[in-house]
Amino acid sequence: MYTRDEIKVFYGNSNPWLAKKICHYLNIEEGKAFFSRFKDGEIKIKIEENVRGVDVFFVQPTQPPSDNLLELLLFLDAARRSSASRITAVIPYYGYARQDRKDEPRVPISSKLIADMIEVAGASRVLTLDLHAEQIQGFFKIPVDHLYATPVFVSYLQNTEDLSNTVVVSPDPGRANRARAFAKRLGGLPIAIIDKRRDRPNEAVAVNVVGDVKGKNCIIFDDIIDTGGTIIEATRALMDNNAAKVIAVATHGVLSADAVERLHSSMVESILITDSLPVNKKKLTEKFKILSVAELLGEAIRRIHNAESVSALFI
């Protein structure tokens, strides 16, 4: 499909499995870069092939530890200093996105800081997936292509579930617009909203359910599953309102601490996540299903490289 002089896709240590699948979709060889460390732990990077005048893409989600973000920044700088014609930071999971505003005194706007760092390091544009908040796009002065994993989930659910008695559920009022768009893609399904209270980070309490869920199959639609608290509380509220069953859908499976065990023990029937983040399948239970976003990201890379419209993938 491409020659090596036209496009090169590199990746760091954050999620090499996803990057390899993207290269397979594009039918290109993986870019050659060497990642090592000095004795004190400092990261050392060297691009091991010519990238002068090349359209370079670097695939790297930026989940903790911070080394993942540092690898991204250092590679961007190396590619810029090697005279790449354009450098696209492909960030399937944008870390620090949950701190996108000053909601209390004396706190940073971390997602803005990260955006500034990515620009200064040398990125020409950013390709990302399901940002925690859409306004983060405005933190960049360079083009941002913001994709949604919706088509991946819609295709799977339409082929595996009977959606005739289904309600899409937003886990909080702030996610209602995304839930509504997801419900529309699933054939115009009704939606319900969980009235959620969060007194401190990673602790959520479902207070009320807005909408009719009695006897319905419910699909909770969110962008991140971290500790699992939001999904567990939302499921409990839905079942208390006599829902028939609950399926959880989220793009980014952070699954920190004992989230897998808590979700497995909860009343949620199944959990769909993507491979935007590396997930150890051996630690998951039969409730979990991982869907790949490699083709979605690969197609976006192809269109960006060929100067074709990417807007059809934004839905």
Question: Which residues are annotated as catalytic?
Answer: 196
What's phi and psi for 163, nearest 5 deg?
A: -95, 10
Find out whether 176 and 170 touch, Cβ atoms under 8 Å.
yes
Nearest to 89 by CA among 121, 133, 65: 121
Count CA within 13 A, CB hemisphere, residue 137: 13
Which residues on neighbouring strands pair with residue 248, listed in sequence order? Answer: 220, 271
C-alpha closest to that of 285 among 255, 260, 251:
260
Q: Which residues contact 273 (CB under 8 A, 6 or more apart)?
A: 225, 250, 251, 252, 253, 255, 279, 288, 289, 290, 291
H/E element holding 89? strand 86-91
Neighbours of 203 (CB within 10 A): 12
Angle, helix 16-26 to helix 294-305, in steps of 10 degrees: 60
The three-point CA angle 61-21-287 to 5° equals 75
